[in-house]
């Protein structure tokens, strides 16, 4: 079998161009979207803010805080866009204010801080750590390593090592269950969030982490592909925000429905397929998701049970859902795939108080659909 994923070929599909959109317009859209999120020229869409000479943060405009999710997302966006100054500002802010040096979570990052750097919580969220690690590896490979906190590779390797070995000395908890190789929602619990599963990242961690950890990450990639398939409803393709290790929705915590976190499952599948085209990549999930939303008006997107039954509650992030359904088309084909991309292309970035999450998903989707979300190799 010939390996055809971008990891092997170095070629990334510009699906927007394949669908007939003008290449110059695509490039302009990418650059304009970056500016709208990262420049103070556009306060109605801005989510990145510089602080002083060497710091910066991503603002969750819906909750008025700074989260490891957004900080690590911003770093990934910056390395893909070759914006080293902004990458370093975000990483410096993360290390200065979010990194925890004591307590049971020492070595992890506090998931939420105020904009002045005060910690709102002393617990971590594993989706931030995995994005930090991947962004740091890419930065190391694209720009080279520096000194101290800017020795990107060193910090990525050490962070991943803590994520799976923490607690072996009796202090704290790992972010992955070491037996089943599945990522946890937070270190101290034994259930997961399907949208946290990034098998395409774990394949790369298996190459670049400390040698002793590489087999774990290789197994984690395999187990996460299986888990994503198990957690998705067999008819609708919808996944719950929280799920037990057997993939069933975790209603105990009240987040066993398809809602904001769940939107990320589709792009995770799509990027995994684009990069590795592993036979176990559950692309059928994305086909079902696109079919489910094909006849729905974005203005009426809702919270859904994973069987598709709608609640009265409207989606908090309809633009984000449009974006993630579109990037699913990297792993699907046909009319639903084309319609999802067309809807995304005709949708602007979001303004207003809830714009942060939508616009993060928007830029990630635009990068992927234009062939600009790349693996940066050593």
Residues forming the active site: 69, 261
Are the CB atoms for 340 and 328 separated by under 8 Å?
yes
- 3-state SS assignment for residue 58: strand
CA distance 59 to 355: 10
Are the CB atoms for 76 and 67 separated by under 8 Å?
no
**Phi-psi label, residue 239: left if phi above 0, alpha if psi -120 to 50, beta otherwise:** beta
3-state helix, strand, coil in the chain (%, to 5): 50, 10, 40
- 3-state SS assignment for residue 51: strand
Query: Could you tell me which residues are beta bridge partners of residue 67?
Result: 112
CA distance 279 to 288: 18
- DSSP sequence for 353-369: TTHHHHHHHHHHHHHHH
Query: Could you tell me which residues are beta bridge partners of residue 176?
Result: 183
Which helix (H) or strand (E) covers residue 56, if one does?
Answer: strand 55-58
Of 266, 283, 157, 264, give the one whose Cα is nearest residue 216.
Answer: 157
Cα-trace Rg, the chain: 19
């Amino acid at each position: 079998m010939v390996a055809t994923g971008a990891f092997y070929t170095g070629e990334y599909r510009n699906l927007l161009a394949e669908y007939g959109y003008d290449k110059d317009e695509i490039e302009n859209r990418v650059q304009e979207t970056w500016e709208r999120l990262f420049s103070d020229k556009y306060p109605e869409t801005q989510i990145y803010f510089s602080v002083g000479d060497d710091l910066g943060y991503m603002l969750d405009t819906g909750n008025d805080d700074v989260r490891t999710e957004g900080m690590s997302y911003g770093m990934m966006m910056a390395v893909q866009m070759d914006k080293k100054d902004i990458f370093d500002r975000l990483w410096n802010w993360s290390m200065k204010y979010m990194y925890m040096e004591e307590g049971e979570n020492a070595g992890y990052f506090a998931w939420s801080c105020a904009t002045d750097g005060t910690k709102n919580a002393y617990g971590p969220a594993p989706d931030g750590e995995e994005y930090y690690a991947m962004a740091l590896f890419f930065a190391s490979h694209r720009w080279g390593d520096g000194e101290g906190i800017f020795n990107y590779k060193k910090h990525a390797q050490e962070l991943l090592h803590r994520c799976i070995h923490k607690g072996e000395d009796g202090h704290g908890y790992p972010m992955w269950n070491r037996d089943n190789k599945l990522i946890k929602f937070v270190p101290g619990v034994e259930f997961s969030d399907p949208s946290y599963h990034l098998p395409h990242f774990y394949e790369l961690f298996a190459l670049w982490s400390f040698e002793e950890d590489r087999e774990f990450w290789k197994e984690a990639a395999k187990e996460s592909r299986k888990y994503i398939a198990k957690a998705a409803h067999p008819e609708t393709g919808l996944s719950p925000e929280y799920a037990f290790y057997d993939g069933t929705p975790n209603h105990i915590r009240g987040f066993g429905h398809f809602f904001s976190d769940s939107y990320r499952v589709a792009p995770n599948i799509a990027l995994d397929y684009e990069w590795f085209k592993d036979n176990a990549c559950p692309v059928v999930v994305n086909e079902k998701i696109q079919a489910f939303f094909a006849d729905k008006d974005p203005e009426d997107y809702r919270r859904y049970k994973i069987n598709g039954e709608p609640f009265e509650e409207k989606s908090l992030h309809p633009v984000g859902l449009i974006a993630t359904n579109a990037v699913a088309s990297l792993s699907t084909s046909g009319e639903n795939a084309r319609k999802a991309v067309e809807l995304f292309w005709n949708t602007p970035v979001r303004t207003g108080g809830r714009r942060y999450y939508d616009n993060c998903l928007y830029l990630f989707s635009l990068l992927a659909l234009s062939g600009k979300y790349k693996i940066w190799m050593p």
